[in-house]
Amino acid sequence: MSTETLVGEYFASGTLSGLPSGHFIDGTFVAASGGRTMETFDPGAARPYHAFAAGDAGDVDRAVAAARQAQRAWGRTKASARGAVLLRVAELIRAEAARLAVVESLDSGKALQEAEGDVAGAARCFEYYAGAADKIQGDTFPLGVDYIGYSIEEPVGVTAHVIPWNYPLSTAARSIAPALAAGCTVVAKPAEQTPLTALMLADILARAGLPAGVCNVVTGTGAEAGGPLVAHPDVRHVTFTGSVPTGIRVMQSAAANVTSVVLELGGKSPVVVMADADMGAAVEGVLGAIYENAGQICSAGSRLVVERGVHAELVERLAKRAASLRLGHGLRRPQVGALSSAAHLDKVAGYVEGARARGVTIAAGGRRATDPQSGAGWFFQPTILDAVTADDPVIQEEIFGPVLSVQVVDGEEEAVAVANGTDFGLVAGIYTSDFGRAHRMARDIDAGQVYINEYFAGGIEVPFGGNKLSGFGREKGFAALRSYTRTKSLTAKIG
């Protein structure tokens, strides 16, 4: 079905036909064992449009048991055969991209063209790890002629994947694909705000030939479904993406079973613009860094660290552009979509109200908004808070909305110090035309990834993850595979 037909169906009927409702366990959709459901909302219209299974510990037990049962055979499936399944997944995602993108936009509130990009990225992710599956290999050790020593990389076993609401499909893809490539089985728990595309992905995986039980999805709240999953003694690794407090709880639960974790916990990432930068590129980079997905990105460039000489000019240009960005329902392809929930909108608005009360200059936006066509939805204007002091909460805390906070600096050394001046360390952007300076600053900025002269440059090939409170461990690239394999060393005396 075409995108236009699907969008037409939604606006005519208020929902879409054929949306998944149950958990996906052991190769099939099943109702919650407790029979309970909950609703998912269209953030662009602030209304519920579909009910899905509200899972609990009983459902998690069923899913983990299915994954455990499937582990031995999947782990022993020839690596190239695992890769072939993942390649078919990539093909199916591309074949069904229109439906996936419409559902992703509807469930999360993001602009349809961004959801289309996420779907393309998810396909690319399965393609990448399809190619990686048969390149996971061990090592040999030089013990002398009377010995042989070698290692093999085994799958760790059942893995749990706790997915956030800001990039529901692409976060699921980037953590599930390497796990499957390595021979692990999966139980995923999508966010309760955005459960649908992870369920659709599990169905695609099954249709691509993944054996029953290898990838399971349990929906429900973090407390009722996520908590039991990360505390389950049969889970051998947890990949978690979300907030810092929840990440700490997840790590504590996993610790009780000595289960490994990767934590991807967001950030307060700086975009540093030096006076020698190409201002046109900097304007585009800063706008994309904070207003894409309405700022609901762990790696959003939410702080502009700008050299004094270009501060006034840059903020003026950014403010003009921010004010001109078109908000609207995601399916109408706006430049900025909705925030994911009413509670999240309240949180974002609260930060800006707090800044206003403290006398911070609001150079653009600063107010709640609605979809101009319907007058409904959870929106916030693209906002710029200018010349903010380093200790202000809008500098130190993750807002996770379309709010840029500006810090003015003098020179390279202060720029690096200010860039490093929060408890987070996920990514950073640097705009400068001085090659040596770019690399000196990149060396000294404490972040898991540094972009030079193009924010978000990169793709699935590049390892991604944070330092400090942004978490640890890396997703994407070959680095991600390390979470899903364990090294077994073998040594033998032969002479």
Task: Write out the catalytic residue numbers.
Answer: 264
C-alpha dihedral (351, 315, 243, 226), degrees to nearest 10: 100
Q: Does 224 bind ligand NAD (CB under 6 A)?
A: no
- Closest approach, Cβ 375 to ligand NAD, in A, equals 26
CA nearest 217: which of 185, 244, 246? 185
- Closest approach, Cβ 100 to ligand NAD, in A, equals 19
> Strand pairing of 147-155 and 47-53?
unpaired
What DSSP element (H or E) covers 337? none
- Closest approach, Cβ 122 to ligand NAD, in A, equals 16
CB neighbour list of residue 455: distance below 8 Å, 6 or more residues apart: 271, 285, 286, 288, 289, 301, 429
Strand order in the sheet with 403-409: 361-364, 383-386, 403-409, 301-307, 269-273, 427-431, 449-452
Residues 436-465 that bind ligand NAD (CB under 6 A): none
- Closest approach, Cβ 265 to ligand NAD, in A, equals 6
Report residue 296 CA to chain centroid gap.
Answer: 10
Q: Does 226 bind ligand NAD (CB under 6 A)?
A: yes
Q: Kindly tell me which of 109 and 164 has the beta carbon lying closer to ligand NAD.
A: 164
Report which residue's Cβ sits closest to ligand NAD. 222
∠ Cα 116 466 406 (to 5°):
80
Number of chain positions touching ligand NAD (CB under 6 A):
26
* Candidate segments 16-24, 137-145, 240-248, 319-327, binder of ligand NAD by CB under 6 A: 240-248
- Closest approach, Cβ 467 to ligand NAD, in A, equals 14
- Closest approach, Cβ 36 to ligand NAD, in A, equals 16
Q: Kindly tell me which of 339 and 416 has the beta carbon lying closer to ligand NAD.
A: 339
Q: Does 230 bind ligand NAD (CB under 6 A)?
A: yes
Q: Kindly tell me which of 226 and 377 has the beta carbon lying closer to ligand NAD.
A: 226
> What residue type is 10 in one-letter code?
Y
* Candidate segments 32-40, 58-66, 236-244, 310-318, binder of ligand NAD by CB under 6 A: 236-244
The span from the CA of 287 to the CA of 283, in Å, is 6
∠ Cα 331 205 182 (to 5°):
120
The span from the CA of 173 to the CA of 167, in Å, is 10
- Closest approach, Cβ 163 to ligand NAD, in A, equals 6
- Closest approach, Cβ 264 to ligand NAD, in A, equals 5
Residues 66-105 that bind ligand NAD (CB under 6 A): none
Q: Kindly tell me which of 162 and 181 has the beta carbon lying closer to ligand NAD.
A: 162
Q: Does 174 bind ligand NAD (CB under 6 A)?
A: no
Q: 2: exposed, middle or buried (C-beta count within 10 Å: 0-12, 13-18, 19+)?
A: exposed
Q: Does 292 bind ligand NAD (CB under 6 A)?
A: no
Cα atoms in the Cβ-side hemisphere of radius 13 Å centred on 349:
14
Q: Kindly tell me which of 341 and 432 has the beta carbon lying closer to ligand NAD.
A: 341
Q: 9: exposed, middle or buried (C-beta count within 10 Å: 0-12, 13-18, 19+)?
A: middle
Q: Kindly tell me which of 183 and 402 has the beta carbon lying closer to ligand NAD.
A: 402
Binding mask 293-312 for ligand NAD (x = CB under 6 A): -----x--------------
Q: Does 242 bind ligand NAD (CB under 6 A)?
A: yes
How far is residue 159 from each of residues 188, 240, 483, measured CA to CA in Å? Answer: 8, 11, 10
The span from the CA of 36 to the CA of 160, in Å, is 22
Q: Does 227 bind ligand NAD (CB under 6 A)?
A: yes
Q: Does 351 bind ligand NAD (CB under 6 A)?
A: no
Q: Kindly tell me which of 274 and 447 has the beta carbon lying closer to ligand NAD.
A: 447
Residues 181-200 that bind ligand NAD (CB under 6 A): 189, 191-192
Q: Kindly tell me which of 386 and 398 has the beta carbon lying closer to ligand NAD.
A: 398
Residues 399-418 that bind ligand NAD (CB under 6 A): 400
CB neighbour list of residue 89: distance below 8 Å, 6 or more residues apart: 126, 130, 177, 204, 205, 208, 210
How far is residue 120 from each of residues 80, 129, 376, 427, 457, measured CA to CA in Å? Answer: 23, 15, 29, 23, 16
**Residues that bind ligand NAD in the complex, under the rule CB under 6 A:** 162-166, 189, 191-192, 221-223, 226-227, 230, 241-243, 246, 249-250, 264-266, 298, 398, 400
